């Protein structure tokens, strides 16, 4: 009898030990560090740099679905654009740092994420957003994300994106992607330009906003290190997004142009 009890106890301890090991693996902290070098900084179709190289370091840490991420932009030689007023014209500037806090929950093939973004920008008032997104694990991995500015520039941005990768040689992959965005402004900041008044007194800007197509490659260098050359093509989705009135952008944040961006990402996963 004592031997049976001892055997059962040993078996239970063994199972508990295995469970503890599995739990430790599931609770593993993961992360990614990266550096992007690009010909231009474009976000949601808006041009935040011109005629200069930008450097974009990033770092993210994840644990049990929770993650924290930092992303920054360093402009090597600031020039004004229709959407960007330099804080240091003609000079190098570390002009933006973004903080993202998020939680991701997997439900079968659905990946649900909710989060908070803080934009620490030198060239415009700092602002904050809340967002939610859903990704479906199928071909092209469609992702629908909704962002809501809650401080300086109240408005809602909706983005539908797609991405797909294929192996082309050994571990090298061809990476294709694209997105379309819609924006609707809520505050008086988003009033559009009117020729009758010569100022931003019109209806609040809302439009099918930006589109983007991306082609790149992922080339592994070491086990967890990869280089990713990429080309992006940005374009306005509607006449409202590209419109000017008497030489002024209809959209108070600046009109959108057709823009090519080239660059390379270096990423390390841990």
Say yes or no to pLDDT of 71 above 60.
yes
Segment 94-107 shows an average pLDDT of 98
In a domain, 16, yes or no: no
Question: What mean pLDDT is reported for the chain?
Answer: 92
In a domain, 159, yes or no: yes
pLDDT of residue 61: 98
Say yes or no to pLDDT of 266 above 60.
yes
Say yes or no to pLDDT of 14 above 90.
no
Say yes or no to pLDDT of 86 above 60.
yes
In a domain, 256, yes or no: yes
In a domain, 64, yes or no: yes
Give percent above pLDDT 70 in the chain. 90
pLDDT of residue 27: 80
Q: CA-CA distance, 173 to 163, in Å (whole number)?
A: 12
Q: CA-CA distance, 19 to 38, in Å (whole number)?
A: 46
Segment 5-34 shows an average pLDDT of 52
Q: CA-CA distance, 91 to 83, in Å (whole number)?
A: 18
Q: Where residue 223 sits, what CATH number does that domain have?
A: 2.40.160.40
Say yes or no to pLDDT of 17 above 50.
no
Provide the 3-class DSSP secondary structure of residue 126. coil
CB neighbour class for 42 (10 Å; exposed up to 12, middle 13-18, buried from 19): buried
In a domain, 243, yes or no: yes
Say yes or no to pLDDT of 23 above 90.
no
Say yes or no to pLDDT of 223 above 80.
yes
Q: CA-CA distance, 235 to 252, in Å (whole number)?
A: 18
Three-class secondary structure assignment of 200-267: EEEEECEEEEEEEEEEEEEEECCCCEEEEEEEEEEEECCHHHHCEECCEECCCCCCCCCEEEEEEEEE
Say yes or no to pLDDT of 20 above 60.
no
Give percent above pLDDT 90 in the chain. 90
Number of domains in the chain: 1
Say yes or no to pLDDT of 175 above 50.
yes
pLDDT of residue 150: 98
- Nearest Cα neighbor of 184 from 206, 202, 164 is 206
**What tens digit of pLDDT does each residue of 194-216 get?**
999 999 999 999 999 999 999 99
**What tens digit of pLDDT does each residue of 113-128 get?**
999 999 999 999 999 9
Say yes or no to pLDDT of 25 above 60.
no
In a domain, 3, yes or no: no
Distant-in-sequence contacts of 114-118, Cβ < 8 A, 24+ apart: 117/147
In a domain, 5, yes or no: no
Of the pLDDT bands very low, low, confident and very high (cuts 50, 70, 90), residue 233 is very high
In a domain, 209, yes or no: yes
CB neighbour class for 3 (10 Å; exposed up to 12, middle 13-18, buried from 19): exposed
With beta carbons less than 8 A apart as the criterion, state whether 96 and 121 touch: yes
Q: What are the DSSP calls for 57-73, one per residue?
A: EEEEEEETTEEEEEEEE
pLDDT of residue 85: 97
Expressed as residue numbers, the domain containing 158 is 28-269
With beta carbons less than 8 A apart as the criterion, state whether 91 and 78 touch: yes
**What tens digit of pLDDT does each residue of 37-62 get?**
999 999 999 999 999 999 999 999 99
pLDDT of residue 84: 97
Say yes or no to pLDDT of 237 above 70.
yes
Taking CA atoms, 58 is separated from 33, 73, 98, in Å, by 6, 9, 9
With beta carbons less than 8 A apart as the criterion, state whether 40 and 62 touch: no
- Nearest Cα neighbor of 83 from 171, 209, 265 is 209
């Amino acid at each position: 009898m004592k031997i049976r009890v001892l055997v059962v106890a040993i078996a239970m301890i063994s199972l508990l030990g295995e469970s503890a090991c599995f739990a430790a693996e599931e609770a593993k902290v993961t992360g990614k560090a990266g550096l992007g070098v690009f010909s231009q900084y474009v976000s949601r179709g808006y041009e935040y740099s011109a005629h200069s190289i930008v450097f974009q370091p990033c770092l993210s840490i994840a644990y049990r679905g929770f993650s924290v991420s930092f992303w920054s932009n360093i402009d090597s030689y600031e020039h004004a654009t229709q959407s960007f007023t330099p804080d240091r014209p003609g000079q190098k500037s570390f002009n933006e740092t973004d903080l993202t806090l998020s939680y991701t929950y997997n439900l079968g093939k659905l990946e649900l994420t909710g989060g908070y973004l803080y934009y620490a920008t030198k060239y415009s008032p700092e602002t904050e957003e809340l967002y939610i997104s859903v990704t479906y694990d199928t071909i092209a991995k469609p992702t629908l994300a909704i962002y809501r500015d809650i401080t300086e520039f109240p408005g809602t941005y909706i983005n539908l994106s797609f991405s797909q990768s294929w192996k082309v040689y050994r571990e090298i992959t061809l990476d294709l992607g694209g997105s379309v965005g819609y924006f609707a402004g809520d505050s008086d900041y988003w009033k559009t330009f009117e020729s009758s008044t010569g100022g931003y007194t019109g209806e609040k800007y809302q439009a099918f906003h930006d589109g983007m197509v991306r082609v790149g490659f992922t080339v592994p260098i070491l086990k967890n290190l990869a280089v990713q050359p990429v080309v992006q093509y940005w374009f306005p989705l509607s006449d409202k997004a590209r419109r000017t009135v008497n030489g002024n952008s209809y959209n108070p944040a600046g009109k959108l142009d057709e823009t090519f961006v080239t660059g390379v990402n270096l990423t390390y996963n841990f």
